[in-house]
Structure 1
Amino acid sequence: MSDPSRRGVLRLSAGTALLGTLALTGCGRGDTATATATEPIDDKPATGIVNVWAAQGDADVLDKVIKPFKSANPDVTVKFTLIPNSEYYTKLQAAVAAGKGPDVAQFFPESQAQFLDPSILRPVPDGLVDSGAFFKSLWDAGLVKDVAYTVPWYAYTYALVYRADLARKAGVEAPTTWAEMVPFFAALKGAGAVRGLGADNGWDIFNGQDVAMYAWQAGGNLLSPEGSWTLDTPAMVDALKYNASFFTSGSADTATPTFLDAQPYFVSGRTATMITGPWVLGQLDTAAKKTGWTAAHVATAPLPAGASGSVSFSAGGTWGVLADSGNTDSSWKFVRYVTKPSTQVAQYAAYGSLPAVISAWDAPAVKKQPLLDAFLTQLKNTKAFPQMGTWQQVATRLGKETETVAKGTQTAEKAAASIQAYAKSLGTGTE
């Protein structure tokens, strides 16, 4: 399952997004024709060499997972290059700009906007996959002007992960609305936790993503229908205030736990709730140094609803075929195979990567995991972050402004105005 080391990818891409956009569209491709819609991909065997680049993590098991593909296509050779998360986008950007990229590359739907261009990626061929089979927001993350450039591979989102034993002791159920959130934290504290919430306090892009998510829950949009930033709305102000309430109420601390301490704090009871992804479920037994600890102590729930419901963001992994691939036919056949429901179930069994294909969640291997139910519910109600070249920079600034509101050094209204001014000065990267 995706692990927190992926934070390095997003931090890096936030700092290089603008550079990447310029480099990708301006270098190394002067003689490369812009990719246009391709012919449908047939069912004949794949042949030749397919070079695949991916970030270390979920892709570590791919060579094993695609053994049936290689057996059914004996004349194809799939070569994997796995790159450390913290270096992945930088190396991919450099290779693509130099015209030396792979045939197929992995992307992250929450941070792939700078690659969604016909000079970089080939449009997904008609009929390659059923777009309706995937979680909608994951598919939408690869769309630009109704053209799809990526196909979802695995999925994750955020939900509430909390100490069920402390909730039982306090006699409370998981919160379902914003208004119930802080009282829930207080109840867990009363049941023995030092803090009700172990909040993400890096004050970076991840905090920005969280507040964007809360703005959706409050009924806001990050972009206008015309495609310009709308970050100083009443919904954004409400989102900033809601997030700040976790800290001003004493439910969470602005400095601890640090990122690496989040799970030990949760296991020890120094915190009792996390707003996080599904990867933690496979790591808490290790943190507790006791097999079965998670099943006995942990529960999950969808995120509490704001005025417009319980909305989270979609994230995970996707695949795209590079515009200058020398073997597009076999590349798309590889992508088609790894995004089949049966392959996604095999990927889950091998690594814990949650399927991006909705029907794969009905497989017994996935369905028998009750702690995943909240994540499935949440994935059905998610949105994609703006597919704009400057979104990573905007989200990073949003995270920094979030800190000022949480610490009481700036009002939510002024923070929202500052974020809007910054975003407006950057533009969207599509002008």
Structure 2
Amino acid sequence: MSRSARTVAAACTLPALTFAACGSDGGDELSAEDEQTLTVWAMGEEGKRLQDVADEFNQEYPSIQIDVTPVGWDQAHQKLVAAAAGGELPDMAQMGSTMMGEFIELGVLEPVDTSTFDQDDFFPAAWENNVVDGEVYGVPWYVDTRVLYYRTDLADEAGATHPPATWEELKELAIAYQENGSRFGISLPAGGEGAWQSLLPFLYSAGGTLVDDEGDPAFDSPEATKALEEYASYFSEGLTSTSVQPGQTVEQDFGSGDAPMFISGPWMVNNISEALPELEGKWAAVPLPADDAGSVSWVGGASLVTFTESRHKAAAQEFISFLTSPEKQADWYEISKSLPANMAAWEEEPLAGDPQLHVFEEQLATAGDVPAMPQWNEFAHEVDVAIERMANGGADAAQTAGELQAATEPLAE
């Protein structure tokens, strides 16, 4: 029995928490042609905008009414867990990439029909994020990834002739920025929630992984130690700040030139353009500098899932097919600025004609996934704490790797 199967079996025996999925086959299901209402939970800004798209779907499928409930990301996890415990889940939902493992483990997600949805249509890491024990539990909806933002004007002044393409060139440019008057060469998180997001590209580019093929933590590898050493060196060499001032943002430091490089996602394109119009033509977003495994980022975003207890699985499949088609993915980008998970959508306008998006398409093609881990939040917290120990306490990278391995092993059992 797999680890996920053992956990679901155990959950079904707990008298204090009864999941609707335990011992149920979903009842009498409806076909997509039957008159019905499909209930959908969507998160964040997507939740506010999805009903309009759902109404378009209803014009093509008049028998299927879509009822979208917007849910704030700050409430999404708690609301889903409570609904799973109380047997009150919707028919389908949007689910963040780092949440997939937990809900797969709970046994409340319906496996995806892979004869309907082809993994070759989607960025590989976005698809893999939904796979456990060879079974697929979600269809990628939108994606994000991390790239390097840098001030081209200050790079020119510092004598740089091209974007940094390797770790060595990244360090050289950070030093050159400082020598040319910048307070720091780059902005990197010194710990705190989400710091793992900036470390992960270093780990993947070094050839490391978060977990091995058996699902066990892999921080005791030479590649992980190398990545931790490289990341920590920016703090020990004074190239990035070891603390964050309250109220200070990466955009402010980028605009002032105090920190003319940082690693972030696609939303920063609009943030910089809107907050710092004076920087037009003075910055660029480029692929992350490479180590042994090349330029490797990671994929975040959200997938669309159907719950096992739904009587409307056929309707949910039609709606998911609609939302993940190339044409609708391109339309959704215009509405929400969420990057399409379907690779063919990048050939549609407005994506195909936007030169600022090419770097994200290139980075997504080689990006790694965040494994679908039931205890991801606890796992990520241990990585955040390890980064803080190195950044603020000068902890040795090899020792930190060993401590991180020991701290995360129980979370993968």
Checking the alignment, whether the CA contact within 8 Å between 2:236 and 2:394 is kept in structure 1 is no
Checking the alignment, whether the CA contact within 8 Å between 2:200 and 2:297 is kept in structure 1 is no
1:367-389 CA-to-partner distances (Å, cap 9, x unmatched) read: 22222221111101111122221
What's the Cα RMSD here?
2.6
Measure, in 2, the Cα distance between the counterparts of 1:408 and 1:324.
Answer: 49
**Aligned with 1:132 (options 112, 120, 127):** 120
Q: Indicate the SS of the match to 2:187.
A: coil
TM-fit CA distance, 1:109:
1.5
Q: How does 1:18-37 map to 2 (within 5 A)?
A: 26=14, 27-29=17-19, 32-33=22-23
Distance 1:20 1:160, change over 3 A: farther
Q: How does 1:204-243 map to 2 (within 5 A)?
A: 204-243=192-231
The answer to which of 152-161 and 269-278 deviates more is: 269-278
TM-fit CA distance, 1:206:
2.0
The answer to which of 54-63 and 268-277 deviates more is: 54-63
**What residue is the counterpart of 1:198 in the other structure?**
187
Are residues 1:396 and 2:374 paired?
no
**What residue is the counterpart of 1:180 in the other structure?**
169
TM-fit CA distance, 1:343:
0.8
Checking the alignment, whether the CA contact within 8 Å between 1:345 and 1:365 is kept in structure 2 is yes
Checking the alignment, whether the CA contact within 8 Å between 1:54 and 1:80 is kept in structure 2 is yes
What TM-score results when the alignment is normalised by the length of structure 2?
A: 0.90
What TM-score results when the alignment is normalised by the length of structure 1?
A: 0.86
Q: How does 1:60-79 map to 2 (within 5 A)?
A: 60-79=48-67
**Aligned with 1:410 (options 395, 402, 409):** 395
- Supply the AA of the counterpart residue of 1:428: A
Distance 1:24 1:177, change over 3 A: farther
**What residue is the counterpart of 1:6 in the other structure?**
none
Measure, in 2, the Cα distance between the counterparts of 1:25 and 1:255.
Answer: 47
Checking the alignment, whether the CA contact within 8 Å between 2:378 and 2:411 is kept in structure 1 is no
**What residue is the counterpart of 1:95 in the other structure?**
83
Checking the alignment, whether the CA contact within 8 Å between 2:20 and 2:87 is kept in structure 1 is no
Checking the alignment, whether the CA contact within 8 Å between 1:35 and 1:119 is kept in structure 2 is no
The answer to which of 167-176 and 237-246 deviates more is: 167-176
Checking the alignment, whether the CA contact within 8 Å between 2:189 and 2:198 is kept in structure 1 is no
Measure, in 2, the Cα distance between the counterparts of 1:399 and 1:87.
Answer: 22
TM-fit CA distance, 1:127:
2.2
Distance 1:402 1:213, change over 3 A: same
Q: How does 1:100-139 map to 2 (within 5 A)?
A: 100-117=88-105, 119-139=107-127
**What residue is the counterpart of 2:3 in the other structure?**
none
Measure, in 2, the Cα distance between the counterparts of 1:24 and 1:66.
Answer: 34
Checking the alignment, whether the CA contact within 8 Å between 1:167 and 1:191 is kept in structure 2 is no
Residues matched between the structures, number: 402
Are residues 1:335 and 2:324 paired?
no
Measure, in 2, the Cα distance between the counterparts of 1:410 and 1:168.
Answer: 35
Measure, in 2, the Cα distance between the counterparts of 1:222 and 1:69.
Answer: 39
Distance 1:330 1:35, change over 3 A: same
Checking the alignment, whether the CA contact within 8 Å between 2:58 and 2:64 is kept in structure 1 is yes
- Supply the AA of the counterpart residue of 2:156: R
**What residue is the counterpart of 1:347 in the other structure?**
332
Checking the alignment, whether the CA contact within 8 Å between 1:212 and 1:236 is kept in structure 2 is no
Measure, in 2, the Cα distance between the counterparts of 1:90 and 1:24.
Answer: 20
The answer to which of 251-260 and 396-405 deviates more is: 251-260
- Supply the AA of the counterpart residue of 1:48: Q
**Aligned with 1:373 (options 358, 365, 370):** 358
- Supply the AA of the counterpart residue of 1:176: A
Checking the alignment, whether the CA contact within 8 Å between 2:198 and 2:263 is kept in structure 1 is no
Checking the alignment, whether the CA contact within 8 Å between 2:109 and 2:306 is kept in structure 1 is yes
Measure, in 2, the Cα distance between the counterparts of 1:225 and 1:351.
Answer: 36
- Supply the AA of the counterpart residue of 1:28: T
Measure, in 1, the Cα distance between the counterparts of 2:93 and 2:20.
Answer: 21
TM-fit CA distance, 1:200:
2.3
**Aligned with 2:134 (options 146, 161, 171):** 146
Distance 1:25 1:264, change over 3 A: farther
Measure, in 2, the Cα distance between the counterparts of 1:167 and 1:240.
Answer: 26
Identity %: 28
Measure, in 2, the Cα distance between the counterparts of 1:316 and 1:82.
Answer: 17
Q: Indicate the SS of the match to 1:238.
A: helix
Q: Which runs of 5+ in 1 are unaligned?
A: 1-18
1:74-132 CA-to-partner distances (Å, cap 9, x unmatched) read: 22211111111111111111111110011111111233210114720101123222211
TM-fit CA distance, 1:323:
0.8
Checking the alignment, whether the CA contact within 8 Å between 1:34 and 1:119 is kept in structure 2 is no
1:52-90 CA-to-partner distances (Å, cap 9, x unmatched) read: 112112332212233331111122211111111111111
Checking the alignment, whether the CA contact within 8 Å between 2:42 and 2:50 is kept in structure 1 is no
Q: Indicate the SS of the match to 1:67.
A: helix
Distance 1:132 1:319, change over 3 A: same
1:121-146 CA-to-partner distances (Å, cap 9, x unmatched) read: 10112322221100011001101111
The answer to which of 328-337 and 249-258 deviates more is: 249-258
Q: Indicate the SS of the match to 1:296.
A: coil
Q: Which runs of 5+ in 2 are unaligned?
A: 1-6
